[in-house]
A and B are shown apart, each in its own frame.
Chain A
Amino acid sequence: MIGPFLPIIILLLTISLLIFVLMYAYFLHKRVTSLSNQEIHALDQSDGILKQAHEEAEKIVKKAMEDAEVISTNADSFKADLQKSMQLILKNSSSKYTDVFQKEIDQLLQSYRQQFVEKQEKYLKEAENLMNDEKLSSQFYLQKKVEEEVASAKKSIEQYKQEQLKQFDQKVADFVQEVGKKVLGHALDVKDQKELIFGALEQANKDGIFNI
């Protein structure tokens, strides 16, 4: 009885199966497309955050550099102060001027170095806070990348700070040597020089150098 309808039944079953396969393929395709879009969006977002973090780091380093320039310019007024005190020391003291001279330089230098370091520390702290905020607002899988950016920015700032400090000290040292040669060279006669030599020998004797 089923015999005459058998080809039609097989055809209908085949068509149903085909429709089912096509629908499955369609939904599968739709799902894959949707996931890819999410992933692309996530990657775009991560690029954006990294770019932003990098830009912030650059901005902070640039700001710190600009500020260092201001401090460096201030070093000129430091030079003037130093020159003034050196001349004053030479005018008002004779044999014991070395101690006063050292004390003056110490005070002036400490004051200017402190200003310089404070500024640099301030920018370093700001950079760290900014980067930490960035890290907290990032998605978990981006945090590692942001952390790397933070570490890199901190390293750059620290390196820059050290270089600037070194340059600052070198500038001052060169200047003191230069002024020392000009001012002291002319101001100290042979008698003063001998006094300094005997003073140095007395110190060496106290240190026990000659008992070696």
Chain B
Amino acid sequence: MDTKYTSVLDQIQTLDQRESFINAIDQILDARFLTKANIDEVVEKKTTLFNAKILLGLLTKYKEIYKDSEKFDHFIKDIRSYINELPVIRLQVPIEYQTRDVSELYAWFNTNVKKKVILDIHQNNRLLGGCIVEINGVHKDYSLRSSITHYLSPQK
């Protein structure tokens, strides 16, 4: 995947957004193949405003691609594959995260981890503070609750 796409795709930050975006791509691929309809119309009609903005943003940026049917297919499948293979980081946090807050977290990952990730955020009030991180089947508890329990453990 060309890294030049990633700035447009940075809008896809959560697992829900990724699923919705992939679903939108699949609909476009099906619709275009079946009806040969105008791609702009399909994008606007078949997807949500959020996904349409991303897709049209990409298509506007790479006009030469979507005028060529073969190149377009390759391009859109490439994006689908890239997004689908991004690592998912599941976070359990003790507070409710709004879209604006998610962007703060996403920015932190961009700056500190230096790679694009997809966030899957869940609220868990029992943590008291901190968070639980899960990535590729690895689960690590960095919550305040865990620290307290650790310090009260008889094995300590």
Contact = CB atoms under 8 A, between A and B. Distances in A.
Asked if A pairs with B, the answer is yes
A204 B133 contact: yes
Given A105-B148, A177-B148, A207-B140, A184 B131 contact: no
A193 B148 contact: no
Contacts of B152: 105, 109, 169, 172-173, 176
Contacts of B128: 180-181, 184-185
Which interface class (under 10, 10 to 19, 20 to 34, 35 or more) fits B?
A: 20 to 34
B129 A196 contact: yes
Nearest to B149: A173
Contacts of A185: 128
Contacts of B133: 200-201, 204, 209
A200 B131 contact: yes
A190 B129 CA distance: 10
Contact of B135 (A180, A196, A199, A212): A212
Which interface class (under 10, 10 to 19, 20 to 34, 35 or more) fits A?
A: 35 or more
16 contacts: A105-B152, A106-B151, A169-B152, A180-B144, A185-B128, A192-B129, A194-B95, A197-B95, A197-B105, A200-B143, A201-B142, A204-B140, A205-B112, A209-B140, A210-B117, A212-B135
Given A172-B152, A201-B142, A209-B138, 11 more contacts: A102-B147, A109-B152, A169-B153, A184-B129, A193-B95, A201-B108, A203-B142, A204-B133, A205-B113, A210-B113, A210-B135
Interface of B: 89, 91, 93-95, 101, 104-105, 108-109, 112-113, 115, 117, 128-131, 133, 135-136, 138, 140, 142-145, 147-149, 151-154
Interface of A: 98, 102, 105-106, 109, 165-166, 169, 172-173, 176-177, 180-181, 184-185, 188, 190, 192-194, 196-205, 207, 209-210, 212
